[in-house]
Amino acid sequence: MREVELAIIGGGSAGMAAARGAYENGVKDILIIERAKEYGGILEQCIHNGFGLHTFHEELSGPAYAEKYYGLIKDIPGIRFEYESAVMNIGDDNVLTVQNQEGYEKIKAKAVILSTGSRERSAGAIGLRGDRPQGVYTAGTAQQYLNKEGFLVGKRVFVLGSGDIGLIMARRMTLEGAEVVGVAELMPYSNGLARNIKQCLEDFDIPLYLSHTVKAIHGKKRLESISLIAVDENRKEIPGSEQIIPVDCLLLSVGLIPENELIEDLGIEMDGRTKGSVVDSNYMTTREGIFACGNALHVHDLVDYVSEEGYKCGRAAADYIHNGKETQEKNKSVLHKGISYMVPQYFYKGKDIEFMFRVTGIYKNAKIHVWGEGFDKHLPQLSLVPSEMVKIRLRKEDLEHVNGEIHWEVEE
């Protein structure tokens, strides 16, 4: 059986960064197992720019960011890529079963990093109602058809969900000759980055219908129209507020779900809010030797943060390979008002820790209040919105006297 020191599942932005982090921390035998023909993961279909502002101080397109990052690792002999290879299963002792065009093989690794990205929530999962015509796609699938194959999946488009992918595709389809007649968002605030609302909707005069949803879709073999309806403060449909909008295509941008198929049957603890695994400050899951980072851990907004997280995860996996697991007890974050989730869920003392989280609503001029044994911080934030991930660094000194838990809340 083949043995490697570190196996990284997924060679997208998180996986490549993890490889670099592990290598720079002394691991010289790294295998990145990638199921596509190329590195880069989802970046390969994101031809819009906005990637790399933090990492490279440049605004790059997705593929360009991937290529540039790949450039940092491609000449390192200790980091190898295996393409068109899919990990089918993680067995005991971190033995991976890998399928590719050479056969089915087993690879044993000292540590495994899951950087498998996320998938889109589908029409079926949101119980989209109405007929069953062709013409409903998740925004990412439409993006794949357009950016990689050169085809439009519709000419008169409506978008459900103001997540970034939907906004980006609204602009994309318009630039390629489709008419995008509107974007509906269930919540009273948008789900995407502020700059995307401006650059994808406002700049193109595409109306954003907040507190609205698609009640039903209509059409026989092809989509013919949608029923747009307003919702109240409890997100219940307001009867009588329906309008029929003729379209031949509905794009869904209704959420991303971390892809954790490989570990779900292993009894690893999952976080019901992130839908990713529960990890400690070394990005290790509750199963020894298995780590997670990137969109597979929690859905990110910026690739730069993904790369940072991947890098830290790689470094930590290297520490584990050389020194084994942590001996100290772990501490946990307890969440209160306004905090939707926290990554990492657990942490160890003795180092600065960078926490990443999202808030549950829109807060202006609020503070993040974080406290524990021996410290109490009130950190002012300019604006807090659910669609923008927050990063807070707590110093080693802050955490020195913590006794099992720290607490977080939004303070207005």
Partner 1 sequence: MYDVIIIGAGITGTLIAHSLSRYDLKVALLEKESDVAFGASGANSAIVHSGHDPKEGSLKAVYNLRGNRMYRDVCEDLKVAYRQIGAFVVATSEEEEEKLDTLIDNCIRRQIPYEVLSGDELRSREKNLSDDVTKGLSLPTTGIITPWEVCMAATEEFVMNGGDLCLETEVQAIEKKEDHFLVSTNRGTMEGKIVINCAGVYADKIAGMLGIHRYTITPRKGEYYILDHTGEKYVDTVIYPIPTVKGKGVLAVPTIHGNVLLGPTSDPMEDKDSVSTGDGLDAVSREIHKTMKNIPMNKIIHTFAGLRPVSDSGDFIIGEDEDVKDFIHVAGIQSPGLTSAPAIAEDIRDIVLGKLKPEKKKEFKRREAPVIMAYMSDEEKDELVKRDPDYGKLICRCEKISKGEIRDCIRRPAGARDVKGVKRRCRPGMGRCQGGFCEVEVVKILAEELGKDLNEISAAGGDSRILVAEAKEDL
Q: CA–CA separation, 162 vs 46, rounded Å?
A: 17
Residue 45 contacts by C-beta under 8 Å, 6 or more apart in sequence?
62, 140, 143, 144, 147, 148
What distance separates the 2 farthest-apart alpha carbons in the chain? 65
DSSP 201: I
Q: CA–CA separation, 224 vs 226, rounded Å?
A: 7
The single residue listed with the structure tokens 């969440």 is: 335
8 A C-beta contact, residue 217 and residue 250: yes
State which of positions 20-59 bind partner 1 (CB under 8 A): 35
Give 45 or 49: the residue with its C-beta nearer to partner 1. 45
The single residue listed with the structure tokens 């015509």 is: 133
User: Is there binding between residue 86 and partner 1 (CB under 8 A)?
Assistant: yes
Dihedral, CA atoms, 299, 300, 301, 306, nearest 10 degrees? -150
For 20, phi and psi rounded to 5 degrees? -65, -45
Query: What is the pattern of x (binds partner 1, CB under 8 A) and - over residues 288-307?
Result: --------------------
Query: What is the rounded radius of gyration, in angstroms, for the C-alpha atoms of the chain?
Result: 22
The single residue listed with the structure tokens 């519709």 is: 154
Q: Which of 44, 164, 248, 280 binds partner 1 (CB under 8 A)?
A: 248
State which of positions 101-120 bind partner 1 (CB under 8 A): 101-106, 119-120
Give 152 or 379: the residue with its C-beta nearer to partner 1. 152
Give 118 or 331: the residue with its C-beta nearer to partner 1. 118
Give 230 or 394: the residue with its C-beta nearer to partner 1. 230
Query: What token pair was written down for 61?
Result: 């397109």
Q: Which of 28, 220, 364, 396 binds partner 1 (CB under 8 A)?
A: 220
Q: Which of 130, 289, 310, 338 binds partner 1 (CB under 8 A)?
A: 130
The single residue listed with the structure tokens 């925004």 is: 139
User: Is there binding between residue 99 and partner 1 (CB under 8 A)?
Assistant: yes
User: Is there binding between residue 93 and partner 1 (CB under 8 A)?
Assistant: no
Give 248 or 308: the residue with its C-beta nearer to partner 1. 248
Q: Which of 22, 90, 167, 249 binds partner 1 (CB under 8 A)?
A: 249
Q: Which of 115, 138, 162, 282 binds partner 1 (CB under 8 A)?
A: 138
Q: CA–CA separation, 363 vs 48, rounded Å?
A: 29
CB of 151 to partner 1, least distance (A): 4
Choose the binding region for partner 1 from 100-108, 162-170, 339-347, 368-376 (rule: CB under 8 A): 100-108
Q: Which of 2, 28, 222, 322 binds partner 1 (CB under 8 A)?
A: 222
Q: How far apart are the first and last CA of the chain?
A: 57
User: Is there binding between residue 133 and partner 1 (CB under 8 A)?
Assistant: yes
For 74, phi and psi rounded to 5 degrees? -70, -30
Give 152 or 402: the residue with its C-beta nearer to partner 1. 152
CA distances from 71 to 66, 68, 74, 157, 305 (A): 8, 5, 5, 38, 18
Query: What is the pattern of x (binds partner 1, CB under 8 A) and - over residues 160-199?
Result: ----------------xxx---------------------
User: Is there binding between residue 264 and partner 1 (CB under 8 A)?
Assistant: yes
Q: Which of 92, 149, 205, 233 binds partner 1 (CB under 8 A)?
A: 149
119 three-state secondary structure: strand
Q: CA–CA separation, 235 vs 408, rounded Å?
A: 27
Binding stretches for partner 1 (CB under 8 A) = 35, 84, 86, 88, 97, 99-106, 119-120, 122-125, 127, 129-134, 138, 140-141, 144-146, 148-155, 176-178, 216, 220-222, 248-249, 261, 264-265
